[in-house]
Structures are given as C-alpha cells and as structure tokens.
Amino acid sequence: MDAVKPTPWKEYELDSSVMFELLRTPTYSTSQGEQWPFEGGVPMIYVGRWAQAEFDTNAPDGRGEQLFRTVVDSPPPGPWSDWLGPTLRDHGIGVYVFRSPRTAATWKAHYDLD
C-alpha cells in the first residue's frame, strides 16, 4: 500500500485579534471539511453556499459561469450545468464562497462533492 501524503499547510503570521476573530467565527458545513482562504494575511469572510443563481446575480455582467470559473480554486472542466444546479436543491457539488474583508467585489471559493 502506498503512503498517504498529508495536505500541505500554509503558515500565516497573524495578529492575535485576527486569530481570535477567526477562532470565534462559526464554521460552515461541508462534506469534505472547511477551508478558509486568506487575503493579505487576513481570513476572508464566508458568504455562503452558492448555486448558479447566486453566481449569476453577483456577476457584474450577469454571466455567472465566468465568475464561477474566476473565483473557484481549480474548477473542473466542462460546462457548469453538468454538475452545479441552478438552485441549491439541484446541486451535485457544494460551492462555498468567501469575500474579501477589504473589497466587496473580490471573491474566492472552493467546492466539494456531496
């Protein structure tokens, strides 16, 4: 049996007030565990779980798929309609979206399979 390699951890030097805020922030429910993106050494703010409708609403030009492919870390190939439904009831994956604490128009997201 092959050895399992651990997931690499990223280290940040955080001000104690930032670390306190992150530790007291409620977690969110995912199938494969939460991941908190950082921007400039500060944790981003969890916005929620999005489906196609939320990406369309928040895209500056209404083209949600382009926003999705821009903010999701390593988006899978193929049309998003193959696995991300128009609403949360019609989903194949969970997409968890965060916004910058500095700029409301800066987003990052990750996904997992349900």
DSSP string, 50-110: E-HHHHHHHSTTS-HHHHHHHHBSSPPSS-GGGTS-SSGGG-SEEEEEEE-SS-TT-EEEE
The pLDDT value given to residue 12: 63
- Token pair, residue 107, equals 């987003």
CB contact at 8 A, 68 and 55 = yes
Average pLDDT, consecutive stretches of 10 residues, N- to C-terminus, the chain (114 residues): 55 75 78 82 87 91 91 81 71 84 86 76
pTM for the model: 0.78
Q: What is the pLDDT of residue 62?
A: 92
Give Cα separations from 38 to 29, 31, 41, 46, 53 (angstroms).
19, 21, 6, 11, 25
Question: Given this model, what pLDDT does residue 37 score?
Answer: 87
pLDDT the model gives residue 104 = 75
User: What integer pLDDT is reported at residue 109 of this predicted model?
Assistant: 93
* R_g (Cα) of the chain, nearest Å: 15
